[in-house]
């Protein structure tokens, strides 16, 4: 089948708004730095964690000097949780000394001796980031119920501290970390909007507990309507930790201005293990998650072993492999040899495709025959029909029946998501207000534009 490349007509009345695409650098920072150096990572907006900032300086400098945006995550939500405060986040400068427990509400008062707010402001200025995520917490924290007022004060105090420390030009974004029940309830949502409306913030980043790339049809439709309920704030909304089809759908339906995720990480958000102590490491315990490969268009990842089993079926390599030669030169083999590179290129190209479509046609494009939704549905059905080789499955220690059942379930869910989104598309009018555009806020004139090296 020949590729059909039909340019979309772009009259002035049909603008294509830019999509704010934030990339959480995360654990893959070396891989991402390599991709960026090779010109294969078109990232213009990065999010970096305070605990990892010092390891990511090169990538940060490269993106910032090219006129990009760098947003600092303070990790205070993790540092205030029982389960996470002793983990990686403890590398943040304002973490308490070992054994001193999580950060509590008192550490965020403007007069606190630990001066967390002042430390955040000084690091933001000295590290040269172009924005900061306000020090905000998980609003569903079972250990402390009133983070909202503490965080609200902390945000105001951070603005004052930034202005005092020479960071007047550094904007604050607000990470709203909420249980879905709180977001979906109109009265609680009203409280959130009222609080956010009083704060000196640019954008709202929305991290919904339990929501992610694997969301089902009900969760997705609830999310789409709940986020639209934040629009009277008049501020851009970024869908944080929302990867895959749910993230793309939120963009296509115009309820969010942008998206923030990592590559093969931070595509979902869950606080399940935040409120209980981390398990002690046992001697024979092994760590490390299975390397996973994202299947083009499927909205799912599989382990390398599972993928090899599927590839043993007739047509398996063709259906599962990357058909984009600009991404994976040798198809399936290139894809499994470099899963992160593949995932990064696919992520950015999916955003670019959506961005090229005029705003008012994005829903139609998303749901249409050549759009991501239909492709996911089609691919899921093709994959569930594969008949993998039993010997190959045994060799990889994979139960082929269990695998194919999971893939059949995935196909069923994908079909339901499609039906649900089509219904939403048909029932709501075309005059639905869209999220405000989040303009690029670079830290100043790009070095390349000054004429001096």
Partner DNA sequence: CGTAGATCAGGATCCTCAGA
Partner DNA sequence: TCTGAGGATCCTGATCTACG
Residue nearer to DNA on the CB measure, 137 or 300 = 300
DSSP, res 212: B
Angle at 8 between CA 6 and CA 13, to 5 degrees: 170
Q: Is residue 264 near DNA by the rule CB under 7 A?
A: yes
Residues 40-53 as b/e (b if ≥16 CB within 10 A, e otherwise) read ebebbbbbbbbbbb
Minimum distance, C-beta of residue 73 to DNA, in the bound complex (Å): 11
Residue nearer to DNA on the CB measure, 278 or 437 = 278
Q: Which helix (H) or strand (E) is 222 found in, with range? A: helix 217-228
Q: Is residue 265 near DNA by the rule CB under 7 A?
A: yes
Contact map string, positions 11 to 30, toward DNA, x by CB under 7 A: ----------------xxxx
Helices 186-197, 147-164: crossing angle, 10 deg rounding: 20
Candidate residues 195, 278, 385, 437; the one interacting with DNA per rule CB under 7 A: 278
How far is Cα 360 from Cα 15, in angstroms, rounded to an integer? 8
Neighbours of 411 (CB within 10 A): 22
Candidate residues 99, 288, 429, 453; the one interacting with DNA per rule CB under 7 A: 288
Q: What is the dihedral of CA 109, 115, 116, 117, to 10 degrees?
A: 70
How far is Cα 81 from Cα 114, in angstroms, rounded to an integer? 17
Candidate residues 305, 323, 408, 432; the one interacting with DNA per rule CB under 7 A: 305
Minimum distance, C-beta of residue 151 to DNA, in the bound complex (Å): 20
Where do runs of H (alpha helix) occur along 50-185? 57-65, 76-79, 116-127, 147-164, 180-184
Q: Is residue 34 near DNA by the rule CB under 7 A?
A: no
User: Which region among 216-224, 230-238, 422-430, 444-452 touches DNA (by CB under 7 A)?
Assistant: 216-224
Minimum distance, C-beta of residue 3 to DNA, in the bound complex (Å): 28
Minimum distance, C-beta of residue 267 to DNA, in the bound complex (Å): 6
Candidate residues 14, 218, 356, 439; the one interacting with DNA per rule CB under 7 A: 218
**Closest residue by Cα to residue 210 from 192, 200, 222:** 222
Residue nearer to DNA on the CB measure, 28 or 196 = 28
Candidate residues 145, 281, 369, 452; the one interacting with DNA per rule CB under 7 A: 281
Q: Is residue 337 near DNA by the rule CB under 7 A?
A: no
Q: Is residue 300 near DNA by the rule CB under 7 A?
A: yes
Residues 123-159 as b/e (b if ≥16 CB within 10 A, e otherwise) read bbbeebbbbbbbbbbbbbbeeeeebbebbbbbbbbbb
Whether the CB-CB separation of 102 and 121 falls below 8 Å is answered with no
Q: Is residue 384 near DNA by the rule CB under 7 A?
A: no
Contact map string, positions 404 to 423, toward DNA, x by CB under 7 A: --x-----xx--x-------
Contact map string, positions 68 to 107, toward DNA, x by CB under 7 A: ----------------x-xxxx------------------
| Residues near DNA (CB under 7 A) | 27-31, 52, 55, 84, 86-89, 179-181, 209-220, 262, 264-268, 272-273, 276, 278, 281, 286-292, 300-301, 303, 305, 340, 402, 406, 412-413, 416
């Amino acid at each position: 089948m020949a590729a059909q490349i039909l340019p979309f007509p772009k009259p002035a009345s049909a603008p294509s708004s830019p999509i704010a695409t934030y990339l959480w650098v995360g654990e893959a920072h070396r891989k991402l730095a390599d991709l960026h150096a090779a010109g294969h990572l078109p990232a213009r907006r990065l999010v970096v964690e305070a605990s990892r900032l010092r390891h990511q300086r090169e990538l940060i400098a490269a993106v910032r000097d090219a006129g990009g945006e760098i947003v600092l995550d303070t990790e205070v939500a993790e540092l205030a949780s029982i389960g996470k405060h002793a983990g990686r986040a403890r590398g943040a400068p304002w973490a308490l000394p070992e054994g001193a427990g999580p950060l509590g509400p008192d550490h965020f008062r403007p007069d606190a001796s630990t001066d967390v707010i002042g430390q955040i402001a000084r690091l933001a200025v000295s590290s040269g980031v172009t924005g900061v995520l306000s020090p905000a917490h998980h609003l569903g924290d079972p250990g402390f119920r009133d983070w909202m007022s503490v965080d609200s004060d902390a945000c105001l105090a951070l603005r004052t501290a930034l202005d005092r420390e020479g960071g007047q030009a550094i904007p604050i974004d607000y990470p709203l970390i909420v249980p879905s029940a709180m977001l979906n309830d109109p009265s609680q949502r009203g409280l959130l909007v009222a609080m956010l409306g009083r704060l000196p913030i640019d954008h709202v980043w929305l991290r919904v507990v339990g929501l992610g790339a694997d969301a089902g049809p009900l969760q997705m439709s609830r999310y789409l309507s709940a986020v639209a309920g934040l629009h009277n704030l008049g501020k851009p909304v970024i869908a944080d930790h929302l990867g895959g089809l749910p993230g793309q759908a939120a963009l296509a339906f115009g309820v969010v201005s942008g998206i923030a995720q990592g590559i093969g990480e931070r595509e979902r958000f869950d606080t399940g293990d935040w409120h209980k102590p981390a398990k002690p490491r046992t001697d024979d315990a092994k760590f490390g998650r299975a390397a996973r490969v994202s299947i083009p268009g499927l909205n799912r990842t599989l382990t390398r072993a599972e993928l090899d089993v599927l590839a043993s079926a007739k047509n398996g390599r063709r259906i599962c492999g990357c058909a984009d030669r600009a991404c994976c030169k040798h198809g399936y083999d290139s894809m499994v040899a470099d899963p992160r590179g593949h995932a990064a290129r696919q992520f950015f190209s999916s955003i670019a495709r959506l961005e090229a479509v005029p705003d008012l046609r994005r829903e139609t494009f998303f749901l249409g025959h050549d759009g991501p939704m239909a492709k996911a549905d089609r691919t899921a059905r093709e994959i569930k029909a594969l008949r993998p080789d039993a010997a190959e499955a045994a060799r990889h220690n994979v139960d082929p029946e269990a695998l194919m059942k999971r893939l059949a379930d995935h196909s069923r869910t994908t079909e339901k998501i499609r039906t649900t989104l089509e219904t939403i598309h048909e029932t709501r009018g075309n005059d639905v207000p869209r999220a405000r555009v989040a303009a690029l806020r670079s830290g100043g004139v790009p070095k390349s534009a000054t004429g001096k090296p």
